[in-house]
Structure 1
């Protein structure tokens, strides 16, 4: 009788295919965005002078922690993944990885993440990374995803923990600026994810997952997307005032990025059933977060602060 492991060996032709299957379990595209927010927080916390070893270890640990959470998510959702068209080829529903091996892999990643952060950073960052796994698995995947249309609003907090990990790794504590970063990610997550949910609304409806577009429709969802994008404007500027950890360069970048995001959300609100408009909003939300974090890094560099200070001095003299 052919068992799950036989299916794995049959479908994975060589070691490279096996490796690709396990990497796919971790959802690397999602991890990349989480690492960018982690790096942005570290850059601010270190005032543009991050220890490269600490940066590497923290990002590697974040990769392991996020990979563990995503693997458990795949393990838990393998029943609906087998039904949804876009996910049925994932390693678990396709039989390329067995549930037992996926669980062992997830545990190993979590242990590696916690150990690395404890040894090379501090216990606070390690505990925060572990809490991110627990929130994503227990609160979002198990409790909310299949039971509440607010699943991504509350459960999305798991995706906002990486900046806290990065900040704690550098400073050993959590300041108001760290929590402002947390708030920015929390507010960004609904418009990002709901734009995607509009695109794959039928898949979610087919498996009974109460994503917002399924429960209240595209029109109501697009309005909420617009409101959340508006809320990002004051949230992102908190880092400039009153927290004073970011300067004029970041402020300018944030205002431009927010303006484009609001325009994308407005367009979606005007044409909530247009999948091309929803796709445009979703893709931009990814670039938005990447560029916002890049702006944090650029603004925090000593050379940027020096240049801005010199320009400000010259302007003052002219007046």
Structure 2
């Protein structure tokens, strides 16, 4: 069994914010929302151009919704996984910087190995969504 919480955790168990909070912090969901807004806008512009015969592509509203759903799920998991892997990679220097010392790994909320495994799992899942659809 791989420990999810660091053995050298500086955080007391009563301070642990909960796993949902830890995982969303690892994924940096607030940043990903900005990426997804841009992706959705690009999909909508493309499909509006096709509906107005400015590009030669047949698209229904169902196609648009389906593309948005796949993009949001796959993109969120892929980008979130890469953010978690980046936090694992920087786990040795994060405690030294004021801006990053409160991330989940330096605070001891999750072990570096747990963050890496989480990042790999959701990155592979997100990429698989794009490859399999």
Q: Which runs of 4+ in 1 moved over 3 A?
A: 5-14
Give runs of aligned pairs for residues 59-78 of structure 1, distance below 5 A. Answer: 59-78=72-91
Q: Cα–Cα, structure 1 residues 94 and 9, in superposed 2: closer, same or farther, change >3 Å?
A: closer
Structure 2 unmatched ranges of 5 or more? 50-60
Gapped runs of 5+ residues in structure 1?
121-319
Is 1:112 paired with 2:125?
A: yes
Q: 2:70 aligns with which of 49, 57, 68?
A: 57
User: Given the superposition, is the C-alpha separation of residues 9 and 83 from structure 1 closer, same or farther in structure 2, using an over 3 Å criterion?
Assistant: closer
The C-alpha deviation readout for 1:33-77, integer Å capped at 9, x for no partner, is 111111122112222745213211211110001101111111111
Alpha-carbon distance, 1:6 to partner: 7.3
1:38 alignment partner in structure 2? 39
**Once the two structures are superposed, what CA deviation does each residue of 1:111-159 show, in whole Å capped at 9, x if it has no partner?**
1111211223xxxxxxxxxxxxxxxxxxxxxxxxxxxxxxxxxxxxxxx
Among 4, 7, 32, the residue aligned to 2:6: 4
Q: Once superposed, what is the RMSD of the aligned Cα atoms?
A: 2.5
Q: TM-score, normalised by structure 2?
A: 0.75
**Aligned equivalents of 1:113, 1:12: Cα separation in 2:** 33
Report the Cα distance in structure 2 between the residues aligned to 1:92 and 1:10, rounded to whole angstroms. 13
CA gap 1:104/1:12 in 2 versus in 1, 3 angstroms: farther
With the length of structure 1 as denominator, give the TM-score of the two structures.
Answer: 0.33
- C-alpha distance in 1, partners of 2:27/2:120? 12
Report SS of the residue matched to 2:93: helix
Q: Which residue of 1 aligns with 2:53?
A: none
